[in-house]
Amino acid sequence: MSPAHQRQQTDSACGCRSGCSTPPAVSQPVVSDAPAIESRRFRIANMDCASEESEIRRALEGMAGVRGLQFNLGDRELTIAANDRVLPLALEAIRKAGFKPEPLGAKDAQRFRIANMDCASEESEIRRALEGMTGIRGLQFNLRDRELAIAADDLALQQALGAIRKAGFKPEPLSGVDQPAAAAASPPGFWATWGKSLGALGLAMVAEGLAFALPDSGPVKVLGMALAAAAIALSGFSVYGKGLAALRQGRLNINALMAVAVTGAFLIGQWPEAAMVMALYAIAEAIEARAVDRARGAIKSLLALAPEQAEVRQSDGNWERIGVKTVAVDAVVRIRPGERVPLDGIVTLGQSAIDQSPVTGESLPVDKAPGDEVFAGTINQSGALEIRVTAPASDSTLARIIHAVEQAQSSRAPTQRFVDRFAAIYTPAVFILAVAVALLMPWLMGLTWMQAIYKALVLLVIACPCALVISTPVTVVSGLAAGARRGILIKGGVYLEEARKIKAVALDKTGTITEGKPKLVAFEPADAALGQQALEGLAKSLAARSDHPVSKAIADGVPSAAQEVGEFQAVAGRGVQGVIDGHTYVLANHRWIEERGQCSAELEARLAVHEQSGRTVTLLASSERVMAICAVADTIKPSSAQAVADLKALGVTPVMLTGDNLATAQTVGAQAGIAEVRGNLLPEDKLRAIGELQQRLGVTAMTGDGINDAPALAQADIGFAMGGAGTHTAMEAADVVVMNDDLRRLPETIRLSKRTHAVLWQNIALALGIKLVFLLLAIFDDASMWMAVFADMGASLLVVFNGLRLLRQRAGQ
């Protein structure tokens, strides 16, 4: 990003950039009855260049009430000066333009711990309770730590908390407290998790034994009822609380069904079964919560990889071990052989092999030398290293991976949204069916009223949708965690599900298929009369100012000294130009030289020799003629050919899209096994190519670094960023981040998506199938509440453990 993009840019009241003589509207006093103007800050992760700033300006152009905009592209922040009535409209316009503004500062999300929120059905209840409430900008659920973040205005926040309490939950603020620490400060003990449920089970068994073994006398009944009531109170207090809250609001959820069924059974004299049902239900809930915690906590286990202390060099030259949270950026840290790297950094002294598998998923150690990056949580295997810290512990690559996966886990996948909508219809429908059974069975099948009511209550327990609701989140979360363990960071369940539909993958050449580290292999004067050393100096002077890999290869491969360059400019998709000693020179690709009219038959013949060998040709030219030819070569990665073969085996068409010349692209494509190759593409050409692939083949993915290929990544159905380890921009911009440069992770992602989709529908079929069988047994045959609760427990546990299988499967499966 250029310095011009990093500095803040401010609009004045007249709509001009800073420097206008008109005073900014934000600073002018407002003397009217109009709503007060207030400046609000927002972070927009995918806004980092001037073109995206322009898109947002166009989206807000002419919107009355927006009095000022302040862009900070370096930090991806936008400050909007607007009144409260207009601000939501402005934010909606920005979202429609393809951006996601997140509030910052005083309006940032506030976190709450909700002790009795630990499964997907309870998340759905809270979402329904807050549905349609104005002023709420966002919700983020962390069920593993039982936390909810609410982004809302103060008034809306208070209304939201009131609605959550009415739904039977008790939100406790976590403001000013470290989230994990707060969650870990008071973990539920054995009694809260298992003791109450097991105690209730014991009381229920005694009540059942009394009813079976002793005569039906008054004292025995009283004792049995007392034991059953104690068991229900011990295990079902929270169930009753949430169920009654739902019934008061006219909602029928899982807890409401259980509360009605258990109360009904108790009232018709089946108190031993009522107690047993509640105790077994509570135990099943505890087992499910533990299993879901395992899935949601799989990625959290990475936190243990980063050591809590680091050996830091002090100002007097001595070394001291201190907590990693207190280590400052630019501090020097020493890592002994066998130790884990405590923080992200750059190697300053020593050489070693580093096991990066926890972060990148690479199976082989990577050699590190001075100047190379290392990541927190990786393992130093052989030699001692000294590193200069580049990021605090809270912002390490490992911490960002965990944060990104937690955000992905809090979002809902398409299948989960479908199941939630289905459950919202299914639960009331079952309740109506149970009422119909209770009222009609005596007339239709000659049952007594007590028998009919008992069947209806059994039906309520069997039809409890817990297994159905929990079937999707545990599977999606397991899939996300399985990908993260392999160095595949999937940004949400929607991308995990959609990846299986990919029919085409557009691959950039440099750095994706090839190593991305080209070397200068030939430097030829176009005219023998021109001095080699002078030409090399000109080429190096221009190349040294660019960060493009080809330019870097030229700058590194030319021994001459660089000169001062004025009026330097990078021309997208063509090359660079600048003024040296009063003369304008360009370092251009073949396309630009043709556009400048400087190609000749002789030059074309010389270029063809290099291009047919798979070399990238760059030409040094003045305003009058071409002066030198620079040939750069790049080799394909060892894994690229295998990755392309794997994609083809999955029915995916690989297509190479590159700005390089067609001959070079075809040579690399042939080596990698790619039949469809398109070269000489500008960014807008890649955008059109993605659109054409979508129309011709269907769902199309794009690989890139999240910046240079931004238009194509935005157009693609799923964007993959390669080599995201340590790169903030790549992690924020793409839908899927491959933490190393191994292209084989793309077919692996598709296979993971297919497995996840299969398990999702296995779980839905299991949940509904088991329910249907026992539903029919309850209506037309003898089915007890015991059978009902075991059917519900069995279905729930089956889908949970089936979803957890994704964590155990190997990469190639």
Which amino acid, 107?
Answer: K
| Cβ pair 44, 6 in contact under 8 A | no
pLDDT at residue 642, as a whole number: 94
Q: At residue 462, does pLDDT exceed 80?
A: no
Q: At residue 696, does pLDDT exceed 90?
A: yes
Nearby residues of 556 by Cβ (< 8 Å), 6 or more positions away: 519, 520
pLDDT tens digit sequence for 81-90 = 777 677 878 8
Residues 182-218 as b or e (16 or more Cβ within 10 Å = b) = bbeeeeeeeeeebebbbbbbebbbbbbebbeeeeeee
DSSP annotation string for 393-458: GGGSHHHHHHHHHHHHHHSPPHHHHHHHHHHHHHHHHHHHHHHHHHHHHHHHT---HHHHHHHHHH
pLDDT tens digit sequence for 602-624 = 888 888 888 777 777 888 998 88
Q: At residue 51, does pLDDT exceed 70?
A: no
pLDDT at residue 29, as a whole number: 32
Top mean-pLDDT range of 212-226, 318-332, 462-476, 659-673: 318-332
User: How is residue 128 written in tokens?
Assistant: 């329904």
pLDDT tens digit sequence for 269-296 = 777 878 887 887 777 777 766 666 665 5
Q: What's the average model confidence in pLDDT over 668-683?
A: 88
361: pLDDT confidence band, cut at 50, 70 and 90?
low
CA–CA distance, 228 with 75 (Å, rounded to integer): 61
Q: At residue 505, does pLDDT exceed 90?
A: yes
CA–CA distance, 235 with 244 (Å, rounded to integer): 16
State the catalytic residue, choosing from 48, 508, 705, 741: 508
CA distances from 383 to 127, 145, 281, 320, 335 (A): 53, 39, 55, 20, 9
Q: What's the average model confidence in pLDDT over 447-451?
A: 84
pLDDT at residue 810, as a whole number: 57
Query: Known catalytic residue: 705?
Result: no
Q: At residue 178, does pLDDT exceed 50?
A: no
pLDDT at residue 410, as a whole number: 57
pLDDT at residue 288, as a whole number: 66
| Cβ pair 607, 590 in contact under 8 A | yes
pLDDT at residue 5, as a whole number: 35
Give all strands of the β-sheet with 626-633 in edge-to-edge order: 519-525, 626-633, 615-622, 583-589, 575-580, 566-571
Q: At residue 728, does pLDDT exceed 60?
A: no
Q: What's the average model confidence in pLDDT over 436-447?
A: 85
pLDDT at residue 20, as a whole number: 37
- Residue 654: how many other CB atoms lie within 10 Å: 26
Which residues make beta-bridge pairs with 584? Answer: 579
DSSP annotation string for 119-187: SHHHHHHHHHHHTT-TTEEEEEEETTTTEEEEEE-HHHHHHHHHHHHHTT--EEE-TTS-HHHHHHHS-
| Cβ pair 297, 480 in contact under 8 A | no
Q: At residue 705, does pLDDT exceed 70?
A: no
pLDDT at residue 726, as a whole number: 45
| Cβ pair 361, 739 in contact under 8 A | yes
Q: At residue 188, does pLDDT exceed 70?
A: no
Among the listed ranges 123-127, 208-212, 579-583, 761-765, which one has the minimum average pLDDT value?
Answer: 208-212
CA distances from 418 to 85, 190, 412, 468, 500 (A): 33, 36, 10, 11, 18
Closest residue by Cα to residue 60 from 76, 78, 77:
78
Q: At residue 298, does pLDDT exceed 50?
A: yes
DSSP state of 510: I
Top mean-pLDDT range of 512-521, 596-605, 638-647: 638-647
DSSP state of 391: S
Give CA angle at 595 (594, 598), nearest 5°: 50
Q: At residue 36, does pLDDT exceed 60?
A: no
Q: At residue 676, does pLDDT exceed 90?
A: yes
Q: What's the average model confidence in pLDDT over 392-403?
A: 76
pLDDT tens digit sequence for 308-354 = 888 999 988 899 998 888 888 889 999 998 888 999 899 999 988 88
122: pLDDT confidence band, cut at 50, 70 and 90?
confident
CA distances from 422 to 212, 395, 452, 774 (A): 41, 40, 27, 19
Residue that wins the pLDDT comparison between 748 and 65:
748
pLDDT at residue 363, as a whole number: 58
| Cβ pair 792, 282 in contact under 8 A | no
CA–CA distance, 338 with 397 (Å, rounded to integer): 20
Q: What's the average model confidence in pLDDT over 349-373?
A: 80
Q: At residue 692, does pLDDT exceed 90?
A: yes
| Cβ pair 101, 77 in contact under 8 A | no
SS (H, E, C) 457-483: HHHHHHCCCHHHHHHHHHHHHHHHHHH
- Residue 1: how many other CB atoms lie within 10 Å: 12
CA distances from 48 to 51, 270, 489, 701, 733 (A): 9, 66, 21, 22, 10
